[in-house]
A and B are shown apart, each in its own frame.
Chain A
């Protein structure tokens, strides 16, 4: 009897959701769009395959200025183009201010003469400090200038005996080096958070699952106002059965949504969720459960559908950034990190990060699963208590 009622309630909810084609867009289309677009931004992906250009206006046109430009390597982050015209400082500034170039360099006339005369030779670097390519170009320009300064310092210290070949050899093959690597599941930089949506894929999946679940708060409130909940109560032997049915419906839809989104993320963005399928399955189960229980609690608190929309939206829009779904928690102050890790969104995204980056399984993720389990238990208890008071 109970199983039949529960199955009927779940079936009605699932049918209702999938009967509306617009819901499919909200379930799958919008989250994927967010994942991909935010992944592009987070990972400094250029999209068109072309690297950002750093434009150089060399108004001096001397061997010294050309040497400085040649020392800019470009590479993976940007390309260097020397303009045919000498340009002007204002033009270089405007190109960056208008967003047409991430960085420009203006070498003023008299650069070589100043160097020869021992006067500081002017170079201006305009940049958009939000752009990764500009930051790389700045580092490279400063390195090129440091090399020039080092050579000049050597020549000044020993004017008659400077050994240029020795200087070049030591500059090009420094004795002290830094070898850096990521320590992760496979020691691969491909698994770092900014690559291929490793953060944005799981993060926006969690956010939209939560958001969609909290949108169902309105349905329960509407049913209550229309009296259909009272009628359903007459058909169910106990209030908890009805509550469970209303909990399981969104839970099942949430599970389906999460499974499809994670699959799409894996296919489209090549996200590798690690080796622990059990962890992934448990995470999906517990997070959708927490979201569904939270929706049920909110449904017992809200009096009107409008109120339900407002509360649901507020809850999802605050739990997402606080829990680190909009940006990794490591960039926020410690107290905000602690707050984030105490929230279900923070615990869930940490499990994802640890599965993807560190290859954690059930045992290593136990702490966060315990946290999510506690949230689930507390929310279920509150939902049961509130629902019973509401129905009886």
Chain B
């Protein structure tokens, strides 16, 4: 008898094309959008080259050096332009940032004066402009470290006193290395002296560089996922982003299916089929268990079909343990089936169940991490997340799909979900008894 109730509901559910569309195709569609947006099959973050304007009147050699350095990072789309044009384009959003090189940069460096680079950032491009800022700050930090070490080591061999003649003279004037070479080869005594000084500086630079080559501190960086950072960047670039998005979307849409199954009691009551079933030998408790079993089996089927489709379409990682994923799917479906069955029994009609259910689902989805990892959220939301079933479902699936964990890795998640399923099922039985006593079931 119970099997008949479950099979009838399953047949009814899977013959509804709209339900299949929302339960299966929509999560796959959203996974595709999210995955493609954030890098798809391991092409990093999928961020396009950052349009960067550079303004500065540098001689061609240092200009070429800077241009090459920026382009070699393969992060920037560099355009040399005027200050006015750079400002206009950053304000308009055509350029994400503009780097203004100080006019007297080389002279400032040679004479030991302070100089400031200016970075204009597009106000609507916090992310990409932020990347530019971080990279420039890192470059300047390296310069600062080298300069401080040099000065600490040879304080007497520093910049000329104010008003003293420039020790380099016009040795580096001109646009090519050839000019500099010719000046040294055929040069005057000034050129000879300037070259000697340059060699001394270069020798010290080499000494400093050698000294930096022997690291004093062995910094090991380990991220939450346990990746060693030496290889972490490569691994991140190889990540299949669909592994991270499909579980969240699958659980999100499973909640809608579970809510619809929970509200099915109202549908059957309003359609009169509940009355007919209750005059059969089927007891109300059996009917309730039938509805719960249907919702659990339906959820399990939905998740397994989604993960199988994910494997085919998105090359999803299903983990090393063949039991882990089905066990996690079963526990998730059972917990959500119990919760939404309780909601079905607490509400008065299908519309109310639908409205409250959808509100609850959206709230749980934000807090429980279906849209964004809970670790990126404020502390109080992270604490609240642990009280949502979808958090344990998402975390468990992420352990399997994202972290290649086995049954042992999802043990705590299975335990929490199973206890949730049991507690809410007992609550549903108690509520059913109350509604029967009050005559509200029919």
Contact = CB atoms under 8 A, between A and B. Distances in A.
Interface of A: 22, 25-26, 30, 33-34, 37-38, 40-41, 45-48, 50, 52, 93, 96-97, 99, 115, 118, 120-131, 138-139, 141-143, 145-158, 161-164, 166-167, 170-171, 173-185, 191-194, 304, 306-307, 309-310, 313-314, 317-318, 321-322, 326-328, 330-334, 336-337, 353-354, 357-358
29 contacts: A22-B355, A30-B359, A33-B363, A45-B378, A48-B380, A93-B222, A97-B224, A122-B220, A125-B221, A131-B376, A146-B141, A149-B145, A150-B145, A154-B151, A157-B208, A161-B154, A174-B148, A175-B112, A178-B136, A178-B140, A183-B90, A183-B120, A193-B126, A309-B18, A314-B22, A314-B29, A331-B45, A357-B123, A358-B123
Given A122-B218, A138-B221, A178-B117, 5 more contacts: A22-B352, A120-B218, A149-B212, A158-B153, A332-B46
Nearest to A93: B222
A191 B46 CA distance: 26
Interface string B190-230: 00000000000000100110111011111111111010000
A259 to B, nearest CB: 22
A183 B91 CA distance: 6
A177 B21 contact: no
Nearest to B132: A180
A173 B144 CA distance: 9
A301 to B, nearest CB: 13
B70 interface: no
B125 interface: yes
B382 A99 contact: yes
Contacts of B91: 183-184, 358
A176 B221 contact: no
Question: What secondary structure prevails in chain B residues at the interface with A?
Answer: helix
Interface of B: 16, 18-19, 21-22, 25-26, 29-30, 33-34, 36-38, 45-48, 87, 90-93, 96, 108-109, 112-129, 133-134, 136-137, 140-155, 204, 207-208, 210-212, 214-224, 226, 351-352, 355, 359, 362-363, 366-367, 371-382
B211 A176 contact: no
Contacts of A152: 211, 216
B133 A180 contact: yes
Nearest to B218: A120
B22 A37 contact: no
A26 to B, nearest CB: 7
Contacts, number: 307
Nearest to B117: A178
A232 to B, nearest CB: 23
B229 to A, nearest CB: 9
> In terms of DSSP, what is the predominant structure of the interface of chain A?
helix
Given A176-B117, A179-B118, A121 B381 contact: no
Given A97-B224, A141-B219, A167-B148, A118 B214 contact: yes
Contacts of B136: 178
Q: Which 10 A-B pairs have the closest CB atoms?
A: A184-B123, A167-B152, A120-B218, A154-B152, A158-B153, A153-B211, A154-B149, A150-B145, A180-B119, A47-B378
B22 A143 contact: no
A171 B123 contact: no
Nearest to A52: B379
A314 B123 CA distance: 32
Contact of A174 (B33, B36, B147, B362): B147
A170 B126 CA distance: 31
Contacts of A40: 377-378, 381
Nearest to A313: B22
B138 to A, nearest CB: 9
B378 A123 contact: no
A322 B33 contact: yes
A37 B224 contact: no
Most buried by A among B25, B87, B150, B377: B377
A161 B117 CA distance: 32
A257 to B, nearest CB: 16
A121 B218 contact: yes
A124 B217 CA distance: 10
A306 B16 CA distance: 9
A183 B125 CA distance: 10
B217 A123 contact: yes
Contact of B378 (A48, A310, A353): A48
Nearest to B29: A318
Given A120-B218, A182-B121, A192-B126, A176 B143 contact: yes
A125 B220 contact: yes
B377 A185 contact: no
Contacts of A48: 378-380
B148 A177 contact: no
Nearest to B154: A158
A151 to B, nearest CB: 7
Given A30-B359, A170-B148, A314-B26, A330 B125 contact: yes
Contacts of A97: 224, 226
B152 A164 contact: yes
A175 B378 CA distance: 38
A147 B119 CA distance: 24
Contacts of A52: 379
Nearest to B377: A41
Contacts of B116: 176-179
A96 B225 CA distance: 10
A188 B129 CA distance: 15
A178 B146 CA distance: 17
A153 B147 contact: no
Contact of B115 (A173, A175, A310, A357): A175
A127 to B, nearest CB: 6
